[in-house]
């Protein structure tokens, strides 16, 4: 089983997470400071990262991980009112986030989902079992095998999100991938293309909610093989 590094300076939170993770069979390391976390990073397949630490910001750790050959996956613990932190975290390379207060069960479920996703990406076994598909070579997209007639932008949106099913993409990340640094493109533009994409998925008999809105952050394509609902 994978080792999870819990970076959290509040002992009660760190211990309840450690307890729940161990019960599921994960190896657990705890770090209460940035310095402590930096010395334990290499041991972990996944890091649960609180952003407000006594000796600095979790963002510093996150930025440093990019230099590793095999960076661990990261789930950010963010405060309820820190929407900007969630967006910044995802743009700095975090894989997911959990908002405080959370239930340890919810966090364990996220850990499992992120590890499943990242090991699947490493194994290159593909994502053929997902309801939505987009083949970059032929530019053909489908839902449950039913072809979708998409515009260039709709296809690029879907293909971008399908590179990492289950991962949240911010609107800024999607804009950068699809339009580059065209400053005329706004968040609203992304929203309207997603809306059109959902309508086409629905008209083809698919579930429009396979493309989920993550409120205040962005969008993701469901990584559930069957239904499109993994939000609580």
Query: What residue ranges bind Ca ion (CB under 5 A)?
Result: 9, 50, 52
**Nearest approach, Cβ of 141 to Ca ion (angstroms)?**
42
Shortest CB 193 distance to Ca ion, Å: 38
Nearer to Ca ion, 16 or 202 (CB): 16
- Looking at beta carbons only, is 7 or 174 nearer to Ca ion? 7
CB of 77 to Ca ion, least distance (A): 8
Residues in the chain: 232
Residue 72 beta carbon to Ca ion: minimum distance, rounded to whole angstroms: 19
Q: For the beta carbon of residue 171, count every other beta carbon within 10 angstroms.
A: 19
> Nearest Cα to 162, choosing from 196, 199, 117?
117
Closest approach of Ca ion to the CB of residue 36, in Å: 13
Find how far residue 228's CA is from the centre of its chain: 15
CB closer to Ca ion out of 52 and 108: 52
Q: Which residue is nearest to Ca ion (CB)?
A: 52
DSSP result, 5-63: EEE-S-HHHHHHHHHHHHHTT-EEEEESSHHHHHHHGGG-SEEEEESEETTEEHHHHHH
The residues, ordered by sequence, that sit 6+ positions from 211 with a Cβ below 8 Å of its Cβ are 132, 158, 161, 194, 197, 198, 201, 219, 220, 221, 222, 228
Q: Which stretch of DSSP H or E encloses residue 218?
A: strand 218-221
List the one residue out of 2, 25, 224 whose CA is nearest residue 132.
224
| 172, containing H or E segment | helix 171-179
13/143 with CB nearer Ca ion: 13
Q: CB nearer to Ca ion: give 33 or 144.
A: 33
- The CB-of-9 to Ca ion minimum distance in angstroms stands at 5
Of 13 and 150, the one with the shorter C-beta distance to Ca ion is 13
- Closest separation between CB of residue 50 and Ca ion, Å? 4
Nearer Cβ to Ca ion, position 9 or 24? 9
Rg (CA), the chain: 18
Q: Tell me how crowded residue 11 is: count the other CB atoms within 10 A of its CB.
A: 10
């Amino acid at each position: 089983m994978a080792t999870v590094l819990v970076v959290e300076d509040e002992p009660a939170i760190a211990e309840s997470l450690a307890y729940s993770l161990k019960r599921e069979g994960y190896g657990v390391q705890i770090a209460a400071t940035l310095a402590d976390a930096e010395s334990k990073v290499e041991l972990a397949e996944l890091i649960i990262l609180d952003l407000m630490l006594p000796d600095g910001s979790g963002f510093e750790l996150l930025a440093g991980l990019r230099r590793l050959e095999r960076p661990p996956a990261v789930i950010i613990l963010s405060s309820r009112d820190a929407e900007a932190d969630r967006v910044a975290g995802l743009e700095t390379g975090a894989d997911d986030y959990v908002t405080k207060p959370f239930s340890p069960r919810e966090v364990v479920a996220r850990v499992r989902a992120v590890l499943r996703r990242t090991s699947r990406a490493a194994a290159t076994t593909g994502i053929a079992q997902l309801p939505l598909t987009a083949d970059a070579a032929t530019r053909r997209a489908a839902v449950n095998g039913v072809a979708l007639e998409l515009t260039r932008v709709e296809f690029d949106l879907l293909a971008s999100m399908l590179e990492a099913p289950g991962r949240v993409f911010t609107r800024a990340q999607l804009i950068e991938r699809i339009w580059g640094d065209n400053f005329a493109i706004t968040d609203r533009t992304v929203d309207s293309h997603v809306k059109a994409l959902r309508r086409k998925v629905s008209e083809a008999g698919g579930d429009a909610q396979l493309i989920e809105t993550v409120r205040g952050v962005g969008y993701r394509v469901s990584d559930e093989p069957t239904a499109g609902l993994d939000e609580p």
